């Protein structure tokens, strides 16, 4: 009994160490400290450690290419992603398919603290999605906290479904009601996302006039978290254009 417990404890320690290594790799990839090839190698090795499948075999399975944020390509790309995951672990594929069917339901991505395998897979999926998304899609992936790749995938799927069904008026409302918080450290990333929303709106064929500088300035001044909101409000006279608000100069 004691020997079995010791063996289980050893396996748990190894798994926790792998979790920490992958979390560090995700952070370095986010910060641009490693390149895509290094990240891909580390990701394949992590999946190999998790599943027992050789890393060389995983590479032969063929990961999906980079998702280009084109709505017309989403279904095909998503099927390739799910097929790749399903070859490794069909239960993870089933969970992701459920998330894709109902991306509004954030309860589907909740991780149990005692489910080490799900926690490990969540980190692997986030790592994988960071490498196969760009621009707005990549921002959606990065917005998920605690290395929860299931939540990253939900936000990515939600973004697609929402955007695919959204009219220009709905998108304009989202832009005008945008909040850049709740934390100051989230502001830069959310400003980038908001700017992409504006670009998407102004590219719609039904939109004749873009969003004015005054409208942008108003949204930024009112959508910032405290104490940044208070600072901008007190100094709004000097922010005569959106660029001055955006650049802080």
pLDDT digits (tens, 9 = 90+) for 116-157: 889 988 988 988 888 888 888 888 888 887 789 999 999 999
Show which of 142, 164, 186 is a domain's final residue: 164
Query: Within this chain, do residues 71 and 184 fall inside the same structural domain, yes or no?
Result: no
Query: Within this chain, do residues 159 and 185 fall inside the same structural domain, yes or no?
Result: no
Give the three-class secondary structure for 67: strand
Q: Is residue 61 a contact partner of residue 84, using CB atoms and an 8 Å limit?
A: yes
120-123: which pairs have CB atoms within 8 A and are 24 or more residues apart?
Answer: 120/15, 120/18, 120/19, 120/22, 120/50, 121/50, 121/89, 121/92, 121/149, 121/150, 122/147, 122/148, 122/149, 122/150, 122/151, 123/19, 123/22, 123/23, 123/26, 123/46, 123/147, 123/149
Query: Within this chain, do residues 157 and 196 fall inside the same structural domain, yes or no?
Result: no
Query: What count of other Cβ atoms lies within 10 Å of the Cβ of residue 158?
Result: 18
Query: Within this chain, do residues 117 and 219 fall inside the same structural domain, yes or no?
Result: no
Query: Within this chain, do residues 78 and 181 fall inside the same structural domain, yes or no?
Result: no
What would the two tokens of residue 94 be? 């089933």
Query: Within this chain, do residues 130 and 159 fall inside the same structural domain, yes or no?
Result: yes
Is residue 76 pLDDT above 70, yes or no? yes
| pLDDT (0 to 100) of residue 135 | 82
Is residue 5 pLDDT above 60, yes or no? no
d(CA 187, CA 22): 26
Query: What count of other Cβ atoms lies within 10 Å of the Cβ of residue 49?
Result: 17
d(CA 55, CA 213): 51
What would the two tokens of residue 87 be? 């070859």
Q: Domain total for the chain? A: 2
Query: Within this chain, do residues 130 and 224 fall inside the same structural domain, yes or no?
Result: no
9 vs 117, which has greater pLDDT?
Answer: 117
Is residue 240 pLDDT above 70, yes or no? no
Distance of alpha carbon 174 from the chain centroid: 19
Q: Look-up: residue for tokens 């409000």?
A: 233
Query: Within this chain, do residues 46 and 157 fall inside the same structural domain, yes or no?
Result: yes
**pLDDT tens column, 189-219:** 888 888 888 887 887 767 778 888 888 888 8
Show which of 120, 139, 164 is a domain's final residue: 164
Show which of 164, 183, 215 is a domain's final residue: 164
Structural domain for 237, as ranges:
167-247
């Amino acid at each position: 009994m004691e020997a079995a417990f010791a063996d289980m404890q050893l396996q748990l320690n190894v798994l926790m160490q792998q979790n920490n290594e992958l979390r560090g790799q995700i952070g370095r990839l986010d910060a641009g400290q490693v390149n895509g090839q290094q990240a891909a190698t580390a990701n394949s090795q992590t999946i190999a450690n998790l599943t027992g499948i050789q890393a060389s075999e995983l590479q032969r399975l063929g990961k999906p290419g980079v998702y280009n944020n084109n709505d017309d390509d989403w279904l095909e790309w998503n099927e390739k992603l799910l097929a790749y995951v399903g070859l490794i672990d069909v239960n993870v594929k089933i969970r992701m398919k459920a998330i894709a069917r109902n991306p509004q339901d954030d309860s589907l991505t909740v991780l149990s603290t005692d489910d080490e395998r799900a926690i490990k897979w969540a980190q692997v999926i986030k790592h994988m999605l960071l490498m196969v998304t760009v621009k707005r899609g990549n921002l959606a992936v990065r917005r998920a906290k605690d290395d929860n790749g299931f939540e990253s995938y939900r936000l990515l799927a939600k973004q697609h479904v929402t955007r695919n069904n959204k009219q220009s008026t709905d998108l304009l409302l989202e832009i005008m009601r945008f909040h850049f918080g709740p934390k100051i450290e989230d502001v830069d990333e959310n400003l980038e996302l908001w700017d992409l929303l504006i670009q998407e709106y102004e590219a719609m064929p039904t939109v004749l006039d873009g969003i004015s500088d005054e409208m942008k300035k108003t949204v930024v001044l009112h959508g910032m978290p405290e104490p940044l909101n208070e600072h901008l409000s007190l100094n709004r006279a000097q922010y005569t254009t959106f660029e001055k608000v955006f650049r802080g100069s």
